[in-house]
């Protein structure tokens, strides 16, 4: 089924070239379908690139999805044109009275700063708090996951001795949890980060379930037992050449950077990387949309799950944890 986006969003052309089914606002108005309302809080500097990556990941499901884009008002983006932001993005204050079936909070290139030093931290905290009542399930990515774990559970992050950068193998742990249904025992996902959330604190938190981890990159995936908060430390949504662009960008700036591991054929940056993580990325997003958004969200817009339904959903998901 299609993703509904704004008529003239630039990402539409790229998605259609990849044979991804996209409908514009005009066509969607004539369809009698209750589409899922998904909001994306895009904190990445290259917002148009992130839009394409996330919309592609959301497209592999029979559900129709209506996507809105949110930006923070307490930070001025210097890498995306004001025209693009004004046409396709809304601020939190403009959207805070809405309810959404799902919310995605992206990563951001601020991981080496303390959370409280980030200029939009207070606004992000308001969004985290708002998501508790106005969103059925929230999907946090990389720094967004670290920030979410810190805000909701007080789990701190720490600076790593060396940047985790490349394609890493992960093992599925609690296989019967629906979020990892259909996953292979071992699977690959890209990482690009200088920090990690304290893994001991995550493991010790009774409210969290760890679903996948790597002996090298650490915990990749964890969630609350009711599925209302999903935390992903890597970047399954990355394109084939994203790590290549990051690597060559840092080289051109004279920054200390190693080649991304397990990425280039024969470890040669001149060779085109293999795309080895797309299927598991698509499965992760499809499972999230199906089991934690669609199955738990009310039909009527603006209606939040009542306690009885939420408790039932939480019990169902918890019982599946091995």
Residue 214 structure tokens: 């790597």
Find out whether 133 and 97 touch, Cβ atoms under 8 Å.
no
Count the Cβ atoms, other than its own, within 10 Å of residue 201.
Answer: 14
Among candidate residues 142, 205, 222, 281, the one labeled active-site is 142
Bridge partners (DSSP) of residue 4 are: 23, 66
Q: Provide the CB-side half-sphere exposure for 161 (13 A, CA).
A: 1
- Asked if 222 is an active-site residue, the reply is no
Helical (H) or strand (E) element with 248: helix 242-252
The angle formed by the CA atoms of residues 3, 172 and 322, to the nearest 5 degrees, is 105
Helical (H) or strand (E) element with 16: helix 11-17
Give the rounded distance of the alpha carbon of 274 from its chain centre: 22
Among candidate residues 111, 237, 280, 281, the one labeled active-site is 237
With 0-12 CB in 10 A as exposed, 13-18 as middle and 19+ as buried, what is 14?
A: middle
- Asked if 13 is an active-site residue, the reply is no
- Asked if 194 is an active-site residue, the reply is no
The angle formed by the CA atoms of residues 240, 283 and 173, to the nearest 5 degrees, is 105
Among candidate residues 152, 191, 235, 280, the one labeled active-site is 235
Which residues are part of the catalytic machinery? 142, 235, 237
């Amino acid at each position: 089924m299609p993703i509904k986006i704004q008529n003239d969003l630039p990402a539409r052309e790229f998605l259609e070239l990849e044979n991804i089914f996209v409908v514009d606002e005009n066509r969607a108005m004539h369809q009698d379908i209750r589409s899922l309302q998904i909001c994306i809080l895009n904190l990445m500097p290259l917002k148009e690139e992130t839009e394409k990556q996330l919309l592609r990941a959301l497209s592999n499901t029979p559900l129709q999805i209506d996507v809105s884009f949110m930006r923070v008002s307490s930070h001025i983006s210097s890498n995306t044109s004001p025209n693009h932001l004004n046409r396709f993005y809304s601020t939190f204050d403009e959207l805070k009275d809405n309810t959404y079936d799902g919310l995605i909070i992206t990563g951001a290139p601020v991981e080496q700063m303390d959370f409280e030093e980030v200029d939009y931290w207070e606004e992000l905290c308001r969004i985290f708090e708002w998501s508790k009542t106005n969103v059925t399930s929230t999907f946090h990515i990389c720094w967004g996951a670290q920030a979410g774990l810190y805000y909701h559970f007080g789990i701190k992050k720490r600076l790593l001795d060396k940047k985790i950068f490349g394609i890493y193998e992960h093992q599925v742990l609690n296989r019967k949890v629906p979020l990892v249904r259909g996953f292979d025992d071992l699977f690959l996902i890209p990482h690009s980060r200088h920090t990690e959330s304290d893994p001991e604190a995550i493991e010790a938190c009774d409210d969290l379930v760890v679903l996948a981890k790597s002996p090298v990159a650490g915990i990749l995936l964890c969630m609350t037992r009711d599925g209302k908060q999903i935390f992903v430390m890597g970047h399954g949504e990355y394109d084939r050449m994203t790590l290549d662009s990051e690597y060559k960008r840092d080289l051109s700036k004279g920054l200390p950077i190693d080649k991304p591991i397990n990425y280039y054929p024969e470890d040669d940056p001149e060779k085109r990387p293999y795309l080895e993580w797309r299927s598991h990325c698509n499965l992760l997003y499809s499972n999230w949309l199906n089991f934690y958004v669609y199955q738990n969200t009310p039909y009527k817009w603006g209606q939040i799950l009542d306690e009885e339904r939420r408790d039932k959903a939480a019990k169902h998901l918890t019982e599946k944890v091995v």
